[in-house]
Amino acid sequence: MQRWWALFFISLGLLAACASTPTVVEVTRLVPGTTIVSTATPVEVEIEVTRIVTETVTEPVITERPSPGSAERPFQLLFAPVVDTAVISSRAQLLADWLTQQTGQQFQVGILDNEQRVIDLMCAAPTETIGFLTAVGVALANQQCGAQVVSTAVQNNGLSWQAGMIVVRRDSAIQTLADLDGKRWAVPSETSVPNNYYFQALLEAEGIEPAEIISVPGDNTAMLAVLNGEVDFATGTYWPPILPFEQREWVFGEDDPEVWRQTGVSPSRSGIGFVVVLGRPENGGYRVRDARSGVFDTARDIFDETRILTLSAPIPADSVAVGGNFPFGLAQQLGPLLAEFAAAEPCAASLCALDFYGWLGLETAVPTSFDPLHFVIDTLGWTDEALLLTED
């Protein structure tokens, strides 16, 4: 019995000893996807992290713009309202339809408020615009955005140009332009390029200043003013004489403006109202057509008492121009095409109609013929639409 109790007390001691000494257990936390690392000894571990980023990329959708001359983007035939807009719309459409038939391209008629607006649109859309302009308008469009002339109209007098002249008395001491300095000048139209603005630019460029510039109502009054000594010189419209039919046509810059004077015969009135020298041209004579012929019936001595001092440069008639970036190939075709149209029957109901432009025809333009307009614009400092208020 004593032995059993001894063993019992020994067991109790052992149990007490175990309770007083705690057991340290190292716990390692498992993180999925990582290596187990003991916290007893810290170790630096590189963990590769892959991040999936979703981005939305918007790519522009490029739509091809219709080409000039297509149904969606027709070439524009642009007009200023020189006559009733309904007349322009109907008569110009005949040209548009004809050009479509000839080229396979589409054309559309456009009528704007004035000529400057035509130029503005030609500058804004230089690849698809065709403008019907005055000579001044062509020069301004060229200076503003490189528009190029393709055709020039043949007027009802058979000319594709116009000119002015300076007339003085035959007994005057005025022999050169320099002699006009300090003299009195009668101007028949202040808004005319050949009769006023060109000579203003010419005199200014030569340093010549008239003593007085007198505005008068028309060529007739101007011619009578110089004949009667009311002014020292006058400007007026110059149309060249028609030469005898068996000869050639009068040539600007080569023939004398009064070539008929070589006959030594004074002009007279023909039976049908023309001013002629030695009869009508079909009979071997000359027909005189400058501004003095307008007062011949009231002043029969007008040709004997006055003479032409000089002419202006030839100023082109109304013309057709294309935008600065107009397709080159079609631009090259337009001149001959428009000349062909003007010579054909449809023109009589279109550009050649008397209630529209009344042109006799169209001829391929010569760009250098517009140099006198550039001279006027540059010399007088006109670079805006002010010059478009002029008349031809």
pLDDT band, very low/low/confident/very high, at 248 (cuts 50, 70, 90): confident
182 and 298 share one domain: yes
What pLDDT does 271 receive?
A: 82
Residue 247 resides in a domain: yes
Taking 90 as the threshold, does the pLDDT of residue 45 lie above it? no
Mean pLDDT of 185-210: 96
| SS3 at position 354 | coil
DSSP state, residue 311: E
User: What's the gap between Cα 134 and its chain centre?
Assistant: 10
321 and 347 share one domain: yes
What pLDDT does 215 receive?
A: 96
Mean pLDDT of 38-53: 46
177 and 272 share one domain: yes
Segments forming the whole domain that contains residue 152: 75-158+317-389
Residue with structure tokens 């050639």? Answer: 248
94 and 191 share one domain: no
DSSP state, residue 31: P
Output 246 or 236, whichever has higher pLDDT: 236
Give the percent of the chain with pLDDT over 70.
81
What's the pLDDT tens digit per position in 317-345? 999 999 999 999 999 999 999 999 999 99
Mean pLDDT of 179-200: 96
154 and 167 share one domain: no
Residue 27 resides in a domain: no
Mean pLDDT of 211-220: 97
Asked if 319 contacts 365 with a C-beta cutoff of 8 angstroms, the reply is yes
DSSP state, residue 298: T
Number of folded domains that form the chain: 2
Cβ neighbourhood burial of 270 (10 Å; 0-12, 13-18, 19+): middle
CA-to-CA distance for 275 and 268, rounded, in angstroms?
A: 6
Taking 60 as the threshold, does the pLDDT of residue 196 lie above it? yes
What pLDDT does 349 receive?
A: 97
Asked if 129 contacts 122 with a C-beta cutoff of 8 angstroms, the reply is yes
Amino acid letter, 62: I
What's the pLDDT tens digit per position in 124-165? 999 999 999 999 999 999 999 999 999 999 999 999 999 999
Give the H or E element holding residue 65: none
308 and 337 share one domain: no
351 and 282 share one domain: no
Q: State how far the alpha carbon of 72 is from the alpha carbons of 11, 97, 204, 323, 351, in Å.
A: 110, 16, 50, 19, 26
User: What values do phi and psi take at 248, rounded to 5?
Assistant: -105, 180
Lookup: tokens for 106: 């589409």
Residue with structure tokens 């009979």? Answer: 283
